Amino acid sequence: MLLTLLQRCGRSALTAPTARTLQAVNRRYSSSNMAKRVAVVLAGCGVYDGSEIHEASAVLVHLSRGGARVNMFAPNIDQMHVVNHLKGEPSEEKRNVLVESARLARGNIQDLSKLSVKEHDAVIFPGGFGAAKNLCTWAVQGKDCSVNEEVKAVLQAFHGEGKPIGLCCISPVLAAKVFPGCEVTVGVENDEKCPGTADTAAAINQLGCKHVSKSVGESHVDQKNKLVTTAAFMCEAPIHEIFDGIGSMVQGVLKLA
């Protein structure tokens, strides 16, 4: 009798953990199969002439936390100019956007021309002046700017496939230029904490798009166009609030993907 009882208890003790282990394995297997494939497009390295480093890092951290598989890309072109970030002044040297972006990507980056929309579920563009200088000419021409042809093709391809596009800081102007009638945010208008928002928002509206005021910790979702935008460093805020806002944007992109 005692032997039978011990055998039953042994079977029960083994069965429950085994079942739980199998369930955990199945969840991990299912999760890996469902991982979203996200392309991140960089514009150099450094706030004044490339991608804003904190924004790019925040995007990657939140994508990692969301279980996404990430590939990074950048156009293989010269930067508009190079800025000495210590002095805040342009220098005479020349740098390549793809080569500089490789600094942020730890070398794991590809030419933007190789980005396949079929192989990705979403695309995200961090901000920084590089988005307005290298990916387009907004920094010098405002609403009359032109968008780099490869960047424009990527935006149109994801939009055409109904796949979400995430943009932060100044990069939402790319969407405003390429998708007339879309909705984006670059912060809160007429707020001293967002000193650059009012003029940018006005230009966005002049392009026939709608600017939606959102605080730095929020994001805006244009459901029709599957655009998710957030202000990031367009506003003067503690870095953790900017990090949270980018997290809101990334979550919105993954939810739509």
Angle of CA points 149, 254, 38, to nearest 5°: 45
Residues sharing a CB contact under 8 Å with residue 146, sequence separation 6 or more, in sequence order: 136, 137
Asked whether 76 and 69 are in contact (CB, 8 A), the reply is no
Residue 242 belongs to a domain:
yes
CA trace torsion 186, 122, 224, 197 (10° rounding): 0
Tell whether the model's pLDDT for residue 16 goes beyond 60: no
Query: 15 vs 55, which has greater pLDDT?
Result: 55
Residue 215 belongs to a domain:
yes
Residues sharing a CB contact under 8 Å with residue 133, sequence separation 6 or more, in sequence order: 43, 49, 79, 80, 81, 139, 140
Tell me the angle at which helices 239-256 and 53-65 cross, rounded to the nearest 10 degrees: 50
In the set 45, 145, 168, 169, the catalytic residue is 169
Number of structural domains (the chain) is: 1
Residue 30 belongs to a domain:
no
Residue 15 belongs to a domain:
no
Local confidence band at 18 (pLDDT 50, 70, 90 cut-offs): low
Q: Can you tell me the distance from the alpha carbon of 121 to that of 97, in angstroms, rounded to the nearest whole number?
A: 24
Tell whether the model's pLDDT for residue 115 goes beyond 60: yes
Residues sharing a CB contact under 8 Å with residue 241, sequence separation 6 or more, in sequence order: 216, 217
Angle of CA points 24, 25, 31, to nearest 5°: 90
Residue 13 belongs to a domain:
no
Active site residue 182: no
pLDDT digits (tens, 9 = 90+) for 60-80: 999 999 999 999 999 999 999
Residue 202 belongs to a domain:
yes
pLDDT digits (tens, 9 = 90+) for 191-233: 999 998 999 999 999 999 999 999 999 999 999 999 999 999 9
Residues of the domain holding 246 = 37-256
pLDDT digits (tens, 9 = 90+) for 86-103: 999 999 999 999 999 999
Local confidence band at 164 (pLDDT 50, 70, 90 cut-offs): very high
Q: Can you tell me the distance from the alpha carbon of 51 to that of 45, in angstroms, rounded to the nearest whole number?
A: 5
Residue 5 belongs to a domain:
no
What pLDDT, on a 0 to 100 scale, did the predictor assign at position 2? Answer: 42
Burial class (CB in 10 A: 0-12, 13-18, 19+), 189: middle
- What is the pLDDT of the chain when averaged over all its residues? 91
What pLDDT, on a 0 to 100 scale, did the predictor assign at position 117? Answer: 98
Percent of the chain whose predicted confidence (pLDDT) is above 90: 86
- 89-91 and 82-84 beta bridge pairing: antiparallel
Residue 96: what are its φ and ψ, rounded to 5°?
-100, 135
Tell whether the model's pLDDT for residue 246 goes beyond 90: yes
Q: Can you tell me the distance from the alpha carbon of 153 to that of 161, in angstroms, rounded to the nearest whole number?
A: 12
CA trace torsion 114, 117, 119, 125 (10° rounding): 80
Local confidence band at 24 (pLDDT 50, 70, 90 cut-offs): low
What pLDDT, on a 0 to 100 scale, did the predictor assign at position 23? Answer: 54
Query: 18 vs 80, which has greater pLDDT?
Result: 80
pLDDT digits (tens, 9 = 90+) for 165-183: 999 999 999 999 999 999 9
The CATH number assigned to the domain holding 50 equals: 3.40.50.880
Residue 118 belongs to a domain:
yes
Chain centroid, CA 155 distance in Å: 13
In this prediction, residues 106-110 reach a mean pLDDT of: 97
What pLDDT, on a 0 to 100 scale, did the predictor assign at position 34? Answer: 77
